[in-house]
Amino acid sequence: MLEKAYQTISFDSKKCNGCNKCVEACAIVKSNSSDLVHSRIQILKDDQTGEYKTILCRQCADPQCVKTCPAKALSKNEETGVVEWDSTKCVGCLLCTLACPYAGISFNIKTNEVMKCDLCGGDPECVKACEPRALKFRNEATLYNKYGELEDLYVSGLSACLGCNAELLIRHTLRYLGPETVVATPPGCIGGVGGVGVNGKTGTKVPSFFPLLTNIASMLAGARRYYNRIGRDVTMLALAGDGGTVDVGFQSLSGAAERNEQMIYICIDNEGYMNTGVQRSGSTPYGSWTTTTPVGTVLRGKSSDAKPLPMIMIMHNCQYVATATMAYLDDYYRKLEKAYQASKKGMAYLHIFSPCQTGWRFPPNTLIEVERKAVETNMFPLWEYSHEKRSLRFTYPVDNPLPVYEYLKLVGKYKHLDEAQINHIQETTNNNIELLHKYIREDGVQSDQARTGDRELVSNY
């Protein structure tokens, strides 16, 4: 079972422009005054780096202010996670302001009282006032609290690489879909640690089989038809790499999509054949180093662009097509629910951006940063397509994307790129985004719901 998690406010210093609108909003809502001294949040500029920093209560899990308060005026609300202050008990000793390592609780010289953030009851005014979106109210805690009690259907002790993104994906996916699932895991990293497992046992606690790279979707289709015949509603789930999806297994996938077979097909795209020695695949991006696209005096990495398989699956009339990454779990869970519902009618296809630390040459502790930068630069945009509505929408629109170099510099397989190659990647990225925009329905603009996503998540069991 996962530990209880809480919602919190995050701050992105790179997006902050120092406008102080968040500070003003807080002062007005808390004290009905525009005097910034009343604000529970403060924005300061680092003179050395030029970046802005925030001073705000972090609602610590083990708050030092609570431990230090001799009057018990401060307490941790175990339900909301907010560190609450009771003015009727406070004696004004200010020991809490000394104990807080983040300066999150301060003394108001005009009211002669301490003050701190209380998250505005779960709807922070500072976040709503932040136009550059440097402040965000993170609601991923809802996922952990809702699904933490469900059984982890992926066993421990498997041989995945340190910090493997695929293992993270599989655990979340199976926990959500539940035990009424049959899994196909073809040869590769996923099959090696997910299907085959170790010591003669599978890595999953649900039925799984080990198809060939060429017949993943067709075997799942046959299994689903059998369960339909005996009257059981079982989810068919493919967990396949890009090799078994984009390349050698595409004929099987294409046929299953054309027949609208009932399944969820998840492509875990690590942009190459990582399990067999880091060879290039059809989804390997332009310029990438692999063992079959080396860097030397003649070749400078892969010389062609990646195959746009999610777009190809739209052309196959799949019930639902979406892209996702583990860096945005709330987005992934919403799409997984929609894929689950779509699989009752036919094919649902999810394309997951899954960086490989080993093959891509970057430290495991930067995995989430790499994924986020891919989204923030539009190298891997997050979107979904509904066949029923005949519409595509961005689920995490990036209004002011970072240059692609901000992503490329984090990944070792791109360290050789010259200016011309980087420019080619930037131009390709811009063209891809322009193409996606053409699929957005012209009878409506991206709504607030499209920007923030659905708040409610539905469990399947």
**Cα-only R_g, the chain:** 25
Backbone angles phi, psi at 262, to 5 degrees: -85, 100
pLDDT score of 441: 59
Chain centroid to Cα 141, Å, comes to 13
Tracing tokens 């209880």 back to the chain, one arrives at 4
Q: Identify the three-state secondary structure at position 69.
A: coil
Angle of helix 216-230 relative to helix 250-258, nearest 10 degrees?
Answer: 40
- Alpha carbons 365 and 362: distance in angstroms, whole number: 9
pLDDT score of 159: 75
Half-sphere exposure (Cβ direction) of 103: Cα atoms closer than 13 Å: 8
Please, where are the H alpha helices in 274-411? Answer: 309-315, 329-342, 357-360, 367-376, 405-408
Q: 137 to each of 62, 124, 424, how far by Cα in Å?
A: 21, 7, 36
- Alpha carbons 137 and 86: distance in angstroms, whole number: 24
Report the DSSP beta bridge partners of residue 384: 322, 393
Cβ-contact 189, 274 below 8 angstroms:
yes
With vertex at residue 255, the alpha carbon angle to CA 275 and CA 309, rounded to the nearest 5 degrees, is: 55
The DSSP string of 270-325 is -SSBTTTTSB--TTPPTT--BTTB-BSSS-BS--SPPP-HHHHHHHTT-SEEEEEE
Q: What is the mean pLDDT of each run of 10 residues along the chain (461 residues)?
A: 77 91 96 94 92 94 94 93 95 95 93 94 94 88 81 83 89 94 90 67 87 94 96 96 94 97 97 94 97 94 96 96 95 96 97 96 95 97 93 91 97 97 98 90 43 39 39
pLDDT score of 147: 81
pLDDT score of 389: 87
Tracing tokens 């000793």 back to the chain, one arrives at 93
Tracing tokens 């708040």 back to the chain, one arrives at 455
Using the Cα atoms of residue 139, residue 122, residue 10 and residue 4 in order, give the sign of their dihedral. Answer: negative
Q: Considering all CA atoms of the chain, what is the largest pairwise distance in Å, rounded to the nearest integer?
A: 76
- Alpha carbons 357 and 405: distance in angstroms, whole number: 18
pLDDT score of 350: 98
Q: Is the pTM of the predicted complex or chain greater than 0.95?
A: no
| Residue boundaries of the structural domains of the chain | 8-141, 149-452
- Alpha carbons 207 and 177: distance in angstroms, whole number: 13
- Alpha carbons 235 and 110: distance in angstroms, whole number: 61
Task: Assess whether the region 8-141 and the region 149-452 belong to the same CATH fold.
Answer: no
pLDDT score of 253: 97
Half-sphere exposure (Cβ direction) of 312: Cα atoms closer than 13 Å: 16
**Domain spanning 149-452: CATH 3.40.50.970:** yes
The DSSP string of 179-212 is SSEEEE--TTHHIIIIIS-STT--SBSS-EE---
Half-sphere exposure (Cβ direction) of 85: Cα atoms closer than 13 Å: 24
Q: Which fold is adopted by the domain 8-141?
A: Alpha-Beta Plaits (3.30.70)
Q: What share of the chain is helix, strand, coil (3-state, %, to 5)?
A: 35, 15, 50
- Alpha carbons 117 and 83: distance in angstroms, whole number: 8
pLDDT score of 445: 41
Q: Identify the three-state secondary structure at position 391.
A: strand
